[in-house]
């Protein structure tokens, strides 16, 4: 080998070595960009009804695969994520084994793809924007504010519609998810911005009332009550007083027909649509065989089976019983019923314990926000949406991802 060839070879080896030394950082940065785009893209698409969530789920999956194959030493699956993966596998396998429609892959997609958002949220970098070094808080705050503004504009432009959505349950859902966030920032920030968040909270509350969603108001009440055990004595009294006084005030003033909606509910409770569906679903469930009681009827069976007992058949064919417990009992039996209750109970209990142990007031406040949002999502979706739908699971994936990220960081726990 000639001398100049040896020099070129050494230079090439040096360049390869330097590139290899920087590859993990470059790959991690690229993966972080993909995951950030995926998580925030899903949030924006859901809040504003853009219907682009599948695209961002693919982006999130690409970010996770990039980290898995290019920097495997930096890719770990902790115990909570492993339990979630195992739970999804059990649900999918059991649901299809018992299903009369084993080739309907919608349920597999609805349950598996959101895992990219859950995992992506736990892997997000602490700061965003390169040199800007943004934390996540201002981004989330701006999104919540924009949601309120966009909904009011949409209600003004399309007075006969439901803002950005065609179904009142969707704006109600995102109202009960964004309202705790706005209240959180109203408490956490000072100066003139506090008043911005207070006004936005009032606007969000009026939006919820405008949808006339009774499950939405129930979800908001449940989220407030879920925080009571974690509050101080004075704060507890204020929240309980508000839970009692606000409905009375709204009923007396009749804001957006609140009084008529409540009077209709309690005056016709036995004839209420959901009550009829639950009664008929229980009658249908009682006819199940032994194995069906234990393992359920599988994915998609309720839609066909319910029509044999439904008093609504010929008017509207319901595909789910408007009750998560009855839905899981019918599709996955007692096994699924227990899994659902255990999963939600464990997640909320973990959030409560970590929040109670937090010595940092900011972390404690954030833990309470997560409990409120999780409770609001569970309560509203419980009565209005099918669990195994993207309408339920996509927002839930964001809540779960942020919650697992919170549980992962124990630096401020006492």
The per-residue pLDDT for 133 is 64
User: pLDDT tier at 271 (50, 70, 90 boundaries)?
Assistant: confident
The per-residue pLDDT for 90 is 96
* Helix orientation angle between 192-211 and 169-188, rounded to the nearest 10 degrees: 160
- Give the mean model confidence (pLDDT) for residues 127-149: 84
- Give the mean model confidence (pLDDT) for residues 334-340: 96
The per-residue pLDDT for 3 is 46
Checking if the pLDDT of 2 tops 50, the result is no
Domain ranges for the chain: 24-230+268-408
Place of tokens 């509203």: 380
397 contacts 117 by C-beta, under 8 angstroms = yes
Residue 343 Cα to chain centre, angstroms? 14
The per-residue pLDDT for 75 is 78
Residues of the chain with pLDDT > 70, as a percent, come to: 91
The per-residue pLDDT for 407 is 93
- Give the mean model confidence (pLDDT) for residues 161-186: 94
Least confident range from 62-76, 108-122, 383-397: namely: 62-76
Select from 289, 310, 302, 317 the least CA-distant residue to 388. 302
The per-residue pLDDT for 22 is 43
Checking if the pLDDT of 350 tops 90, the result is yes
pLDDT tens-digit series, residues 81-91:
999 999 999 99
296 contacts 331 by C-beta, under 8 angstroms = yes
Checking if the pLDDT of 19 tops 70, the result is no
* Helix orientation angle between 114-123 and 390-408, rounded to the nearest 10 degrees: 20
The per-residue pLDDT for 394 is 96
107 contacts 95 by C-beta, under 8 angstroms = yes
The per-residue pLDDT for 30 is 83
- Give the mean model confidence (pLDDT) for residues 355-368: 94
User: pLDDT tier at 18 (50, 70, 90 boundaries)?
Assistant: very low
The per-residue pLDDT for 227 is 96
In whole numbers, what is the pLDDT of the chain averaged over residues?
Answer: 89
Checking if the pLDDT of 23 tops 60, the result is no
- Give the mean model confidence (pLDDT) for residues 400-412: 84
pLDDT tens-digit series, residues 238-267:
999 999 999 999 999 999 999 999 998 888
Least confident range from 16-30, 64-78, 215-229: namely: 16-30
The per-residue pLDDT for 28 is 65
Between the CA atoms of 152, 158, 164 and 168, what dihedral angle is there, to the nearest 10 degrees? Answer: 90
If you write DSSP's letter for every residue of 254-306 in order, what string do you get? TGGGHHHHHHHHHHTGGG-HHHHHHHHHHHHHHT--HHHHHH-S-TTHHHHHH
């Amino acid at each position: 080998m000639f001398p100049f060839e040896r020099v070129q070879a050494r230079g090439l080896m040096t360049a390869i070595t330097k590139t290899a030394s920087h590859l993990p950082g470059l790959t991690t940065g690229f993966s972080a960009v993909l995951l950030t785009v995926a998580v925030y893209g899903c949030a924006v698409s859901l809040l504003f009804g853009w219907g682009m969530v599948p695209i961002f789920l693919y982006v999130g999956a690409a970010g996770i695969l990039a980290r898995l194959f290019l920097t495997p030493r930096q890719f770990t699956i902790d115990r909570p994520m492993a339990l979630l993966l195992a739970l999804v596998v059990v649900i999918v396998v059991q649901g299809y084994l018992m299903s009369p429609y084993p080739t309907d892959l919608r349920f597999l997609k609805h349950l598996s793809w959101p895992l990219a958002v859950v995992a992506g949220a736990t892997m997000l970098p602490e700061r965003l924007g390169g040199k800007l070094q943004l934390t996540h808080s201002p981004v989330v705050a701006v999104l919540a504010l924009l949601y309120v503004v966009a909904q009011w504009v949409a209600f003004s432009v399309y007075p006969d519609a439901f803002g950005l959505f065609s179904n009142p349950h969707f704006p109600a859902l995102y109202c009960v998810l964004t309202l705790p966030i706005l209240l959180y920032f109203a408490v956490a920030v000072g100066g003139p911005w506090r008043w911005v968040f207070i006004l936005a909270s009032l606007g969000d509350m009026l939006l919820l009332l405008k949808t006339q969603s009774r499950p939405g108001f129930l979800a908001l009440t449940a989220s407030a009550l879920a925080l009571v055990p974690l509050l101080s004595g004075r704060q507890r009294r204020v929240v309980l007083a508000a839970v009692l006084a606000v409905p009375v005030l709204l009923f007396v003033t009749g804001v957006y027909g609140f009084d008529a909606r409540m009077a209709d509910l309690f005056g016709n409770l036995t004839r209420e649509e959901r009550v009829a569906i639950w009664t008929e679903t229980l009658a249908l469930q009682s006819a199940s065989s032994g194995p069906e009681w234990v393992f359920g009827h599988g994915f998609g069976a309720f839609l066909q089976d319910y029509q044999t007992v439904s008093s609504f058949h010929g008017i509207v064919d319901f595909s789910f019983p408007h009750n998560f417990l009855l839905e899981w009992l019918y599709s996955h039996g007692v096994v699924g019923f227990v899994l659902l209750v255990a999963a939600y109970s464990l997640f909320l209990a973990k959030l409560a314990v970590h929040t109670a142990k937090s010595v940092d007031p900011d972390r404690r406040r954030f833990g309470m926000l997560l409990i409120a949002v999780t409770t609001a999502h569970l309560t509203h979706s419980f009565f209005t949406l099918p669990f195994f739908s993207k309408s339920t699971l996509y927002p839930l994936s964001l809540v779960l991802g942020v919650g697992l990220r919170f549980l992962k960081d124990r630096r401020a726990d006492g």
